[in-house]
Structure 1
Amino acid sequence: MSYQEQRAIVSMITGLFIIGAYSIYAYGKVQSGAIAADDMKFWAGAMLMFIGIGIAAAIVIQIIFHILLSVAVAVQEKTRNGQCDDKEMQKTIESDMVTDERDKLIELKSARIGFIVVGIGFIAALASQVFNHSSAVMLNIMFGSFFAGSLIGSLAQFYFYRKGVSNG
């Protein structure tokens, strides 16, 4: 599995973890009666808190991913050659992380798919207001669409690395 595929999987897992944690937190608060379902201050604070948690988690998890990748390359070099030369290991890691035109095309196509999901979510959030749902529903649809866009964009990236991508 390539570096880019592994990175996409790590991003998907991180996103699923964050949206799962947010869902459990928000559902628990509403079900326990600790907050009213239309308390906009709570929803705004919870969303901001989980955006911050998501950013911090993504940074920490990517750092851990790169450390584990380096260790895996070192072990692979050690088993293949019987020794682990730092320069060879560095070369192997750098060659895995090279970004070419194909990688950029895959990034653009997957980002486009993610933006389409976010756009659909935004329209759904506006439609929720037309159908007289609470503003909290609108906020949650928008928040969920941003996470869904990120997840589906990462999934598309993984798919394109597996199946290939055309210029068309």
Structure 2
Amino acid sequence: MSIQVQKAVFNFVTTILLLGGYLFYVFGIQGDINLSKVLDIQFWGIFILKLTVLMVVAKIILFILFAIFKKVKNRNMDEEDLEFMDERDKLIEMKSDRYSHWIAMFGFVASMIPVSMSYSVQYMFITILIFGFLSALMSDVWKIYFYNKGA
């Protein structure tokens, strides 16, 4: 398995675990979330801001640990071999990013539908959150697919 596929699998798994852990923490452990609080726009704003900070900080720390682990595991390999990206790798990155951006843009447009139909704003936040999560996951899935396909 190439280093790029390992990074994509690692990113996929950590994204699921971090989001799942955060959702479990907010809605499971804290448990004092009642319906009136969930219907409040301030709750969703704080929820998404905290989630964004958590994901960025945790991903940085986890990828540093991933790089250290790969370096220790492959200490006899040349450093260029671990971080080398050729045109094929860049093309795969570009394809998967393009497809995930399409999902994110579709999600943004779809999130405007509940607002335009006079539904509450929390449906917009939930839609953006779901499509953003799907976009991040599908980017990694397409990277794995394109590397295994040999595109």
In structure 2, what is the Cα distance between the partners aligned to 1:26 and 1:67? 31
Residue 161 of structure 1 is matched in structure 2 by 147
Which deviates more from structure 2 when the two are superposed, residues 123-132 or residues 99-108? Answer: 123-132
Q: Secondary structure at the match of 2:37?
A: coil
AA at the equivalent of 1:141? T
Q: Secondary structure at the match of 2:118?
A: coil
In structure 2, what is the Cα distance between the partners aligned to 1:47 and 1:32? 15
Structure 1, unmatched stretches of 5+, are 78-88
In structure 2, what is the Cα distance between the partners aligned to 1:129 and 1:23? 24
| Match for residue 135 of structure 1 among 100, 116, 121 | 121
Structure 2, unmatched stretches of 5+, are none
AA at the equivalent of 1:36? K
Where does 1:103-142 land on structure 2 (aligned, <5 Å)? 103-142=89-128
Residue 5 of structure 1 is matched in structure 2 by 5
AA at the equivalent of 1:53? L
Residue 41 of structure 1 is matched in structure 2 by 42
AA at the equivalent of 1:52? V
Q: Tell me if structure 2 keeps the 8 A contact 1:35–1:42.
A: no
The runs of 4+ residues in structure 1 deviating greater than 4 Å are 29-32
AA at the equivalent of 1:118? A
Listed one character per residue, the Cα deviations across residues 72-127 of structure 1 (whole Å, up to 9, x for unaligned) are 113xx4xxxxxxxxxxx4x2x32131111001100000001110110121122111
Listed one character per residue, the Cα deviations across residues 37-71 of structure 1 (whole Å, up to 9, x for unaligned) are 22111111111011000000110010010111011
In structure 2, what is the Cα distance between the partners aligned to 1:134 and 1:22? 23
Q: TM-score, with normalisation over the residues of structure 2?
A: 0.89
Percent of residue pairs bearing the same amino acid type: 30
1:146 and 2:147 are equivalent in the alignment: no
In structure 2, what is the Cα distance between the partners aligned to 1:107 and 1:56? 22
Residue 85 of structure 1 is matched in structure 2 by none
Q: 1:32 to 1:45 in 2, by over 3 A?
A: closer
Q: Secondary structure at the match of 1:134?
A: coil
- Return the index of the structure with the highest Cα Rg: 1
Aligned residue pairs, count: 150
Q: TM-score, with normalisation over the residues of structure 1?
A: 0.81
In structure 1, what is the Cα distance between the partners aligned to 2:150 and 2:136? 20
Q: 1:138 to 1:22 in 2, by over 3 A?
A: farther
Q: 1:61 to 1:113 in 2, by over 3 A?
A: same
Q: Secondary structure at the match of 1:58?
A: helix
Q: Secondary structure at the match of 2:5?
A: helix
AA at the equivalent of 1:140? I
1:54 and 2:40 are equivalent in the alignment: no
